[in-house]
Homo-oligomer: A and B are copies of this chain.
């Protein structure tokens, strides 16, 4: 069901409000690439800073503007089980192909595997959309362990995982033991090739917003058995990937989009836009990567 490279798109703002026309332009540009689809309301979409109505409208609009052969994955990103179910229903009405469901994480010490299992199974039962698990320990402080993911893969409405942990051993364990058609997606371009090596079938990664073809080429080289080419390209992705993720985050990704002819704009507070010297360093990294 899932395969290929997806871009988790940022939400463009002008004067604090969603800039629909800028979004439409961006979506048009991404639609001209080889991307398999877009993730609306992944972490780069700033979901914790948006209202439910904004989230639903975003999914609806992106689905409207993106050609149907490309998938739309819609992120829930909420703590409550019931709220997640409601969003899945709204996203289904809005035309999304699947829901990307982040685990709850505020009450870390209370969320053992029993609670996480119940959370995902409740949603899987009620959601009209197939679910993709979303493991993002750097932001959530919780990891979805291999055994939990493997158990969840037995539910037919749970079709894959975006794993941003960077833990390739865990990814290998999941690939080995999960349901055969369960899709493991690398959650960052920084470990795309090693994830593919152990069985991932694609990725959803910030860098795909600005280097969609290069991300796609790693996958293509790998599938065709051109390991040396894949490796050289993977190396080239490291620096620009760090720039728009761990180093400068969402604000960095938006600044990179601005530099590359997309609309990036400013993130919502409490995010801060890049300072001028940060922006210069970022652009230097992009130039060095051939952009």
Q: Is A37 positioned at the interface, with any CB of B under 8 Å from its CB?
A: no
When chains A and B are docked, how far (Å) is the Cα of A169 from the Cα of B190?
Answer: 6
Give the CA-CA distance A110 to B118 in the complex, in Å. 31
Of the candidate stretches A4-12, A149-157, A171-179, A205-213, the one touching chain B is: A171-179
Q: Report how many copies the assembly holds.
A: 4
- Which residues of B have CB within 8 Å of A49? 79-80, 83
Minimum CB–CB distance from A48 to chain B (whole Å) comes to 4
Please report which residues of chain A, range 244-291, place their CB below 8 angstroms from some CB of chain B when the two chains form the complex: 246, 249-251, 268-272
Q: Is the CB of B108 within 8 A of A138?
A: yes
Map CB proximity to B onto A129-145 as digits: 1 under 8 Å, 0 otherwise. Answer: 00000000011110000
Write the chain B residue with the least CB distance to A107: B249
| Most chain B beta carbons < 10 A, residue from A104, A118, A168, A231 | A168
Is A193 in contact with chain B by the CB < 8 A criterion? yes
A235-B115 Cα distance, complex, nearest whole Å: 29
Closest to A171 in B: B194
How many whole Å from A169's CB to the nearest CB in chain B? 4
Known: A115-B271, A172-B190. Is A250-B107 also a contact (CB below 8 A)? yes
Contact of A176 among B167, B235, B269 (CB under 8 A): B235
**Contact B235–A172 (Cβ < 8 Å):** yes
Partner of A168, one of B168, B173, B176: B168
Whether A18 sits at the interface, judged by CB under 8 Å, is: no
Interface status of A65 (Cβ within 8 A of chain B): no
Interface residues of A (CB under 8 A from B): 16, 43, 48-49, 79-83, 104, 106-111, 114-116, 118-119, 122, 138-141, 166-169, 172-173, 175-176, 188, 190-191, 193-199, 222, 225, 227, 230-231, 234-235, 238, 246, 249-251, 268-272
**6 A-B pairs with the lowest CB-CB distances in the bound complex, closest first:** A194-B194, A48-B79, A81-B269, A176-B235, A119-B270, A197-B197
